[in-house]
Amino acid sequence: MTALLITVDTELSASLQQRGVDLDDNIRRSIWAEAQGQAHGIGWQMDMLDRHGLKGVFFLDPLPALVHGADFLAPIVTAIVERGHEVQMHIHTEWLAWAKESPVGGRQGRNIGDFTLADQIVLLGLARQLLEQAGAPAITAFRAGNFGANDDTLRALAAIGLSWDSSVNPAYLGHDCHIDADPGEIGASRLHGISELPVSGISDRPGRFRPAQICAMSAAEMRAGLRHAAQEGHDAFVIVTHSFEMLSRDRQRPNGAVKARFVALCREAARLPQIRGAGFHDLPGDLADRAGRSLTRVPPSRLRTGLRIAQQAWSTWRYEHRLVPA
Of residues 251, 255, 256, 250, the one with CA closest to residue 322: 250
Task: Show the domains of the chain with their CATH numbers.
Answer: 2-319 (3.20.20.370)
Of residues 278, 322, 297, the one with CA closest to residue 187: 297
Helices (H), 19-95: 23-30, 42-51, 65-68, 73-81
Of residues 305, 295, 310, 313, the one with CA closest to residue 205: 305
Q: Does residue 326 carry a pLDDT above 90? A: no
Phi, psi of 36 (to 5 degrees): 55, 40
Give the count of beta carbons closer than 10 Å to the beta carbon of residue 135: 16
Over the chain, what is the mean pLDDT? 95
Strand partners, 58: 8, 87
Nearest-angstrom CA–CA distance, 127 and 125: 5
Q: Does residue 62 carry a pLDDT above 70? A: yes
Report the pLDDT value the prediction gives residue 283, as an integer from 0 to 100: 97
Q: Does residue 47 carry a pLDDT above 70? A: yes
Listed in sequence order, the residues at least 6 apart from 144 whose beta carbon sits closer than 8 Å to its beta carbon are 90, 91, 111, 112, 113, 153, 167, 177
Give the count of beta carbons closer than 10 Å to the beta carbon of residue 299: 11
Q: Does residue 2 carry a pLDDT above 50? A: yes
* Contact indicator for 58, 88 with CB cutoff of 8 Å: yes
* Contact indicator for 119, 106 with CB cutoff of 8 Å: no
| pLDDT (average), residues 229-241 | 97
Report the pLDDT value the prediction gives residue 321, as an integer from 0 to 100: 64
Convert the pLDDT of each residue in 17-31 to its tens digit.
999 999 999 999 999
Report the pLDDT value the prediction gives residue 260, as an integer from 0 to 100: 97
Say which residue, 207 or 147, is predicted with more confidence: 147
Strand partners, 171: none
Nearest-angstrom CA–CA distance, 82 and 204: 38
Nearest-angstrom CA–CA distance, 214 and 49: 14
SS3 state at 310: helix
Category of 38 on φ-ψ map: left (φ > 0), alpha (ψ -120 to 50) or beta: beta
Of residues 7, 3, 165, the one with CA closest to residue 80: 7
Q: What separation in angstroms does the CA of 5 have from each of 57, 61, 165, 239, 315?
A: 7, 18, 13, 6, 26
Confidence of residue 322 (pLDDT cuts 50, 70, 90): low
* Contact indicator for 101, 66 with CB cutoff of 8 Å: yes
Convert the pLDDT of each residue in 182-221 to its tens digit.
999 999 999 999 999 999 999 998 989 999 999 999 999 9
Kind of pairing between the strands at 56-60 and 86-91? parallel
Confidence of residue 293 (pLDDT cuts 50, 70, 90): confident
Convert the pLDDT of each residue in 80-103 to its tens digit.
999 999 999 999 999 999 999 999
| pLDDT (average), residues 7-12 | 98
pTM of the model: 0.96
Q: Does residue 146 carry a pLDDT above 60? A: yes
Nearest-angstrom CA–CA distance, 241 and 285: 25
Q: Does residue 38 carry a pLDDT above 70? A: yes
CA angle 89, 90, 94 (to 5 degrees): 145
Report the pLDDT value the prediction gives residue 319, as an integer from 0 to 100: 86
